C-alpha cells in the first residue's frame, strides 16, 4: 500500500477552490496546518437537471496532468500528488480527512466527488451514501472508495454540456482518476422572483438571481487529508 498525506504545513499542497466556469481556480485561505473554504460559493450549474443537480466546490485537487497548468499552480501551489506520482487507481482506496467548521447546510451534504475522463468526456461521481459531517469540533472521518455504483450519484450533465460531461461507468473512472473534490450537494435553487424561461436551461446565479438564504453558508477548515491506496 502507498499513502498520500497532506497536512498543509508548507502551503496548500495543490489544493484550491473554484471561482466559476470563466475565472477558474482560486487560492483558498491558508495558515500553517489548515486550509479554509468559506461561503459564498459559486453555484456549479454544469450538472443541472436533467443532470443530478447543483453543487458547491469547496476543496479541489488535480491528480494527474496535463491540466496541471500555471493557473492551478498559482491557486494551489506545488501539487505533491502529481509531483510524487501517487496512483490514479482509486478503487478500494480509503480517504480520511480531519475537519471542522460552522455550516448551515440547508439540505446539502459534504461528500467526496471523483472525476475521470475518456475520449474528451468527463464523468463525475459523488459518494452520496457516505457524507462527511461538519461540526465545530475537530473530527477524523474516513470513507472507502467502493466500486458499488449504488453508493454513488453520477452527476451527468445539463442540457448544453453533454459533449463535456456525462456517464462513464464508475469502475472505468476509478481506474484513472483526474481530480478529487469535497463538495456540498445537492443545492436548493430558488429563483429570486419570476424569470423568463426554464430555470434549469438558464444558468442559476448567472442568468438569474437566486435566494442565497436557501444555499449553504459558513466555512469548512481542512486540517489533514490521507489517502491509503489499496
**Average pLDDT, consecutive stretches of 10 residues, N- to C-terminus, the chain (230 residues):** 94 95 93 96 98 98 78 90 95 98 98 96 98 97 98 98 97 97 98 96 97 98 96
Provide the pLDDT for residue 45: 98
Report which secondary-structure segment, H or E, holds 116.
Answer: strand 109-118
What pLDDT is attached to residue 230?
Answer: 85
SS3 state at 151: helix
> What is the reported pTM?
0.96
Overall number of domains in the chain: 1
- How far, CA to CA in Å, does 139 sit from each of 110, 129, 133, 134, 221? 14, 19, 8, 8, 11
- Please name which of 182, 180, 157, 178 lies closest in space to residue 167, comparing C-alpha atoms: 157
Q: Residue 140 sits in which domain range?
A: 2-229
CATH number at residue 64: 2.60.120.260
Predicted pLDDT at 1: 82
Q: What is the pLDDT of residue 2?
A: 94
Amino acid at each position: 500500500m502507498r499513502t498520500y498525506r497532506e497536512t498543509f504545513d508548507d502551503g496548500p499542497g495543490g489544493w484550491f477552490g473554484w471561482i466559476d466556469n470563466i475565472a477558474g481556480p482560486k487560492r483558498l485561505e491558508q495558515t500553517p496546518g489548515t486550509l479554509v473554504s468559506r461561503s459564498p460559493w459559486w453555484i456549479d450549474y454544469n450538472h443541472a437537471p436533467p443532470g443530478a443537480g447543483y453543487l458547491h466546490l469547496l476543496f479541489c485537487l488535480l491528480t494527474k496532468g496535463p491540466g496541471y497548468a500555471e493557473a492551478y499552480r498559482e491557486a494551489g501551489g506545488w501539487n505533491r500528488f502529481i509531483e510524487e506520482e501517487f496512483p490514479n487507481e482509486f478503487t478500494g482506496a480509503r480517504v480520511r480527512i480531519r475537519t471542522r467548521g460552522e455550516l448551515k447546510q440547508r439540505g446539502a451534504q459534504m461528500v467526496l466527488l471523483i472525476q475521470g475522463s475518456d475520449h474528451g468526456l468527463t464523468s463525475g461521481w459523488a459518494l452520496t451514501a457516505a457524507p462527511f459531517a461538519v461540526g465545530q469540533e475537530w473530527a477524523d472521518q474516513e470513507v472507502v472508495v467502493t466500486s458499488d455504483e449504488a453508493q454513488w450519484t453520477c452527476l451527468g450533465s445539463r442540457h448544453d454540456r453533454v459533449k463535456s460531461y456525462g456517464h462513464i461507468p464508475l469502475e472505468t473512472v476509478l481506474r484513472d482518476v483526474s481530480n478529487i473534490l469535497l463538495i456540498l450537494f445537492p443545492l436548493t435553487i430558488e429563483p429570486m422572483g419570476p424569470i423568463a424561461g426554464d430555470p434549469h436551461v438558464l444558468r442559476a446565479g448567472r442568468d438569474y438571481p437566486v435566494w442565497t438564504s436557501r444555499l449553504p453558508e459558513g466555512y469548512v477548515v481542512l486540517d489533514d487529508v490521507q489517502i491509503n491506496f489499496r
